[in-house]
């Protein structure tokens, strides 16, 4: 049984790269293109980990993160926030929302994979 990882990002080309990376690392990959569908996928599929983009249409990644943390049924899901906004305030927002880790774009693919593996270990 493979580990499910959800990629939630609205930039198609970033999704392509993340999807390739996660598949190569041996995870089963799910994709969501906006906030509401990400939350819906989380509820339906219960992935072990979510790669969550901060800025998405419909519902920001921060909001999705907060919604997940507010739902006791979704406890234990690891969340790694990815965002192109690198200001301190944004990072604080991400941590405040309850993310397990916070990575700014652009990121090193190796580091990211290593981080995901550690979080799932």
Partner 1 sequence: MISAPVVLTVSGLYLLALFAIAAFADRRAAQGRSVIGNAWIYTLSLAVYCTAWTYFGSVGRAAAGGVWFLPIYLGPMLAMLVAWIVLRKMIRIAQSHRITSIADFIASRYGKSPALAALATVIAVVGVVPYIALQLKAVSAGYQILTQGSGPQEEALVWWRDGALMVALALAAFAILFGTRHLDSAERHEGMVAAIAFESLVKLVAFLAVGAFVTWGLFGGMADVWARAKALPGLTDLLRIDGGQGGGGFPYAEWFGMTMLAMFSVLLLPRQFQMMVVECVDERHVKRAAWAFPAYLLAINLFVLPIALGGLVLFGPGVMDPETFVLSLPLSQGATALALFAYVGGLSAATGMLIVETVAISTMVCNDLVMPALLRQPWFGGRAGGDLTRLLLNIRRAAIVGVLLLGYLYFQIAGDAYALVSIGLISFAAVAQFAPALLGGIYWRGGTLRGAFAGMAGGFLVWIWTLMLPSVAKSGWIPDGFLRHGPFGIGWLAPESLFGLTALDPLSHSLFWSLLVNVALYVGLSLARAPSAREASQALLFVEVFAQDSAQGRDQAPIFWRGRARLEDLTGLAARLLGPEQSRRFFEDYARETRAPSVAQIRADARLVDRVERRLAGVVGSASARVLISKAAQESPLGIEDVMEIVGEASEVRAYARALEKAGAELREANERLKSLDQMKDDFMSSVTHELRTPLTSIRALSELMLDAPDMEEVEREEFLGIIIAESERLGRLVNQVLDLAKIESGHAEWRIVEMDLRKLVSDAARATAELFHKKDAELVLSLPEGPRLLHADPDRLTQVMVNLLSNAAKFMPEAGGRAEILLREEPGWLVVEIRDNGPGVPLADQATIFEKFRQAGDALTRPPGTGLGLPISREIVERFGGSMSLDSQPGQGSCFSFRLPVGREEAAQDRPDA
Note the residues at the interface with partner 1 (CB under 8 A): 10-14, 16-18, 20-21, 24, 33-34, 55, 57, 84-87, 104-110
Structure tokens at 107: 């990121």
Closest approach, Cβ 118 to partner 1, in A, equals: 18
Nearer to partner 1, 10 or 100 (CB): 10
> Nearer to partner 1 by C-beta: 45 or 111?
111
Q: Is the peptide bond before 106 cis (omega within 30 degrees of 0)?
A: yes
CB of residue 38 to partner 1, shortest distance in Å: 13
Reduce the DSSP state of residue 103 to 3 states and report it.
strand
CB of 51 to partner 1, least distance (A): 12
- Looking at 43-94, which runs of residues are DSSP E strands? 49-53, 78-83
The Cα-based distances of 55 to 12, 25, 35, 97, 120 in angstroms read 13, 25, 9, 14, 24
Nearer to partner 1, 76 or 86 (CB): 86
| Two tokens, residue 56 | 């998405």
Nearer to partner 1, 33 or 79 (CB): 33
Minimum CB separation of residue 120 from partner 1 in Å reads 20
Nearest in space to 83 (alpha carbons), one of 69, 110, 64: 64
């Amino acid at each position: 049984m493979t580990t499910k990882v959800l990629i939630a990002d609205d930039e198609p080309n970033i999704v392509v790269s993340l999807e390739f990376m996660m598949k190569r690392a041996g995870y089963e990959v799910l994709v969501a293109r906006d906030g509401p569908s990400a939350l819906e996928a989380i509820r339906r599929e219960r992935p072990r980990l979510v790669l969550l983009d901060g800025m998405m249409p419909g519902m920001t990644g921060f909001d999705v993160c907060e919604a997940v943390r507010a739902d006791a049924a979704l406890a234990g899901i690891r969340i790694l926030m990815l965002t192109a906004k690198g200001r301190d305030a944004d990072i604080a927002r991400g941590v405040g929302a309850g993310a397990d880790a916070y990575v700014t774009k652009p990121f090193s693919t190796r580091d990211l994979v290593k981080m995901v593996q550690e979080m799932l270990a």
